[in-house]
Structure 1
Amino acid sequence: MIRFDKVTKRFGSNVVLDDLDFTVAPGKHVTLIGPSGSGKTTILRLLMTLLKADEGTIQVDGQYLTHEQKNGKLVPASERHTREVRKNIGMVFQQFNLFPNMRVLRNVTEAPVHVLGMPKDEAEQRARELLEQVGLTEHADKYPSQLSGGQQQRVAIARALAMRPKVMLLDEVTSALDPELVAGVLDVLRDIAHTTDITMLCVTHEMNFARDISDDVLMFDKGRVIESGAPEKIFSDPENQRTREFLSAVL
């Protein structure tokens, strides 16, 4: 579902991703762990085309993201091509990024109506189902400013799901929340992980959450994957000394 092939990303002389190869199979839940600055969030931003790789290619669901085939050659993709591939991806950010001037229901329906061309009635029905799923049915007509941080993040999750993505990207989705609000958001994400076939790529420092939902965990350091495996293996018996040092500091 996701394939990085020799992807390099630099910021000036700083190499954030270094000739990175990795794949995520359809329906799998993969969590990226590692110290700040190791390249984890850069991967998500490349998939959302908020950044552009300096070298290498990225594929989503078998299609190149920022390249396309023309006359047997791989060339930079048109904006239209990239936009079509990106429709398969939903992302939940650290900050909620809700539209402050729109009520909760419209926050969830806006993209399905205007990007997917979904009829408004169908989009609203879908939005109400998703708001029920994340426990916010009674808040549909409120503005984001009337909600707690945890409630706003759950709206953001519903908004991402409304696009019916094949891939869900989660970028430290609890880092901006007060500690007592974290559990509710993680419970919603656990439910999605356990009841849907959406492929999930997650960056988090919530190690218990990573252990619960992940099929695979990838340890990053200095722009490279230095260890990967099932969560039981990574969290209980890591082989790499750097992984052991990192986990001893965060667990």
Structure 2
Amino acid sequence: MSTELKAPELIRFENVTKRFGDNTVLDNLCFSVRPGKHVTLIGPSGSGKTTILRLLMTLMKPDAGTIDVNGSRLFPAGEKEIREVRKNIGMVFQQFNLFPNMSVLRNITEAPVRVLGLSRDEAEERARDLLDLVGLGDRCGAKPSQLSGGQQQRVAIARALAMRPQVLLLDEVTSALDPELVAGVLDVLRDIARTTDITMLCVTHEMNFARDISDEVLMFDSGRVIESGSPEKIFSDPGHERTREFLGAVL
């Protein structure tokens, strides 16, 4: 993954611009991600990182440029095409966004049944396997209010994986957690990165986590990628002064 486009590409941003009023959040952005790679976006708040994830989730549209996922055009495209592409993308947000009136098991099975057309039995079998994966196999019947924040976030991760996405988007998934809960959630994500072939695009301020799981790290500033490279290169020998300033402040 780099600002030079390499084939095969699973995700491709071509000259993507996004503005909010007079504020240009993404400025003619070009980059691509190859299948199975784990790419982490770092940089100061407001540099456009989360906007990239929200564009991929079709929560907003770019003002210019094109976005392709697995060879299909996400933007610009019709609603039917967008829905089909979206089935291959899962996202875990800063906030857990679980349905409070549903059990943990139902939170995970609802989308596979309604969107993918799985039978309830098949969806529940998949959900139980995923809950075992995230260390919550014994909490199927619990309601979200009965779980800690870290447990709720692990349920949210299982819910995203239940759709069997090609791409998993992670948006500051530990930022809303108490410090003592962060390690458990990051350990789950490390296991997923190590044991699956899911492509991961991650926004985080947890630099040790980024170093552990990333194939490539992109440094963003003012809506542009100003530097990219391996974790070893970015964290040990960054070439751009802005990268050195940022890492000096957060490490």
Band the TM-score falls in, shorter-chain normalisation: over 0.9
Cα distance between partner residues in 1 of 2:69 and 2:110: 24
Who is 2:233 aligned against? Answer: 233
How many residues align structurally?
242
Alignment of 1:13-162 (within 5 A): 13-67=22-76, 77-162=77-162
Q: 1:191 deviation in Å?
A: 0.2
What's the CA shift string for 1:186-205, capped at 9, x where partnerless?
Answer: 00000000000000000000
Using the aligned pairs only, state the percent identity. 80
SS in 1 for 2:18: strand
SS in 2 for 1:137: coil
What TM-score, normalized by structure 2, do the two folds share? 0.96
Cα distance between partner residues in 1 of 2:190 and 2:40: 13
Q: 1:130 deviation in Å?
A: 0.2
RMSD of aligned residue pairs (Cα, Å): 0.5
Is residue 31 of structure 2 the alignment partner of residue 3 of structure 1? no
What's the CA shift string for 1:145-197, capped at 9, x where partnerless?
Answer: 11000000000000000000000000000000000000000000000000000
SS in 2 for 1:165: coil
Cα distance between partner residues in 1 of 2:40 and 2:126: 28
Q: Mind listing any 5+ residue stretches in structure 1 that lack a counterpart?
A: 68-76
Who is 2:5 aligned against? Answer: none
Alignment of 1:210-249 (within 5 A): 210-249=210-249
Q: Mind listing any 5+ residue stretches in structure 2 that lack a counterpart?
A: 1-9
What's the CA shift string for 1:83-124, capped at 9, x where partnerless?
Answer: 110000000000000011100000000000000001110000
SS in 1 for 2:173: coil
Cα distance between partner residues in 1 of 2:200 and 2:122: 25
Who is 1:169 aligned against? Answer: 169
Cα distance between partner residues in 1 of 2:100 and 2:228: 40
Cα distance between partner residues in 1 of 2:160 and 2:75: 21
Who is 1:70 aligned against? Answer: none
SS in 2 for 1:131: helix
Q: 1:81 deviation in Å?
A: 1.1
Who is 2:4 aligned against? Answer: none
SS in 1 for 2:83: helix
Cα distance between partner residues in 2 of 1:97 and 1:65: 24
Who is 1:187 aligned against? Answer: 187
Amino acid paired to 2:148:
S
Cα distance between partner residues in 1 of 2:49 and 2:131: 29
What TM-score, normalized by structure 1, do the two folds share? 0.96
Cα distance between partner residues in 2 of 1:30 and 1:241: 21
Who is 2:202 aligned against? Answer: 202
SS in 2 for 1:244: helix
What's the CA shift string for 1:26-60, capped at 9, x where partnerless?
Answer: 00000000000000000000000111000000011
Amino acid paired to 2:134:
V
Q: 1:79 deviation in Å?
A: 1.2
Q: 1:206 deviation in Å?
A: 0.1
